Amino acid sequence: MESEFRQDPVTGRQVIIAPARDDRPHDFAGDLPRVNETFDPFLEGHEETTGPEVFAIRDQDSSPNTKGWRVRVVNNKYPAITPSDDIKSVAGLFARSTGFGVHEVIVECPHFETNLSRLSANHIGDVLLAYQQRLETHQQNPKLKHASLFKNKGALGGASLDHAHSQLIVTSEVTENVRLELDGARAYFEQHQRSVFGDIIHAELGSAERIVQDSENFVLLCPFASRFAYEMVIIPKQQICQFEQTEKDKLPELGEILKSALQKLETVLHDPPYNYIVHTAPFHSCDLPDFRWHIELFPRTTLIGGFEWSSGCIINSVSPEAAAQQLRDN
**Binding residues for its own copies restricted to 156-175, rule: CB under 8 A:** 156-159, 167, 169, 175
Angle at 146 between CA 145 and CA 152, to 5 degrees: 155
- Closest contact distance (angstroms) between CB of 321 and its own copies is 9
Stretch that binds its own copies, among 55-63, 109-117, 180-188, 255-263 (CB under 8 A): 180-188
Considering only residues 93, 190, 249, 286, which one is a binding residue for its own copies as defined by CB under 8 A? Answer: 93
151 sits near its own copies (criterion: CB under 8 A): yes
- Partner residues linked to 82 by β-bridges: 100
Tell me how far apart the alpha carbons of residues 124 and 130 are, in angstroms, rounded to a whole number: 10
CA 267 → CA 103, 226, 330, distances in Å?
A: 32, 19, 7
Tell me how far apart the alpha carbons of residues 106 and 133 are, in angstroms, rounded to a whole number: 11
Tell me how far apart the alpha carbons of residues 139 and 301 are, in angstroms, rounded to a whole number: 35
Considering only residues 1, 91, 216, 249, which one is a binding residue for its own copies as defined by CB under 8 A? Answer: 1
Q: Which is nearer to its own copies, 192 or 248 (CB)?
A: 192
Residue 117: other Cβ atoms inside 10 A: 20
**Binding residues for its own copies restricted to 267-286, rule: CB under 8 A:** 269-272, 275-279
- Closest contact distance (angstroms) between CB of 227 and its own copies is 5
152 sits near its own copies (criterion: CB under 8 A): yes
Give yes or no: 165 in active site.
yes
30 sits near its own copies (criterion: CB under 8 A): yes
Query: Which amino acid is it at 21?
Result: R
CA 32 → CA 21, 160, 224, distances in Å?
A: 17, 11, 32
**Binding residues for its own copies restricted to 206-265, rule: CB under 8 A:** 223-227
303 sits near its own copies (criterion: CB under 8 A): yes
- Closest contact distance (angstroms) between CB of 264 and its own copies is 16
- Closest contact distance (angstroms) between CB of 98 and its own copies is 14
Q: Which of 165, 270, 284, 294 is catalytic?
A: 165
**Binding residues for its own copies restricted to 60-89, rule: CB under 8 A:** 80
Q: Which is nearer to its own copies, 45 or 305 (CB)?
A: 305
19 sits near its own copies (criterion: CB under 8 A): yes
Residue 273 near residue 153, CB atoms below 8 Å: yes
309 sits near its own copies (criterion: CB under 8 A): yes
| Sign of torsion over alpha carbons 168, 173, 179, 185 | positive
Stretch that binds its own copies, among 43-51, 64-72, 239-247, 305-313 (CB under 8 A): 305-313
| Sign of torsion over alpha carbons 320, 325, 326, 328 | positive
The residues near 186 (Cβ < 8 Å, ≥ 6 apart) are 290, 291
- Closest contact distance (angstroms) between CB of 297 and its own copies is 10
Angle at which helix 251-269 crosses helix 320-328, to 10 degrees, equals: 100
199 sits near its own copies (criterion: CB under 8 A): yes
Tell me how far apart the alpha carbons of residues 312 and 130 are, in angstroms, rounded to a whole number: 33
Tell me the catalytic residues: 165
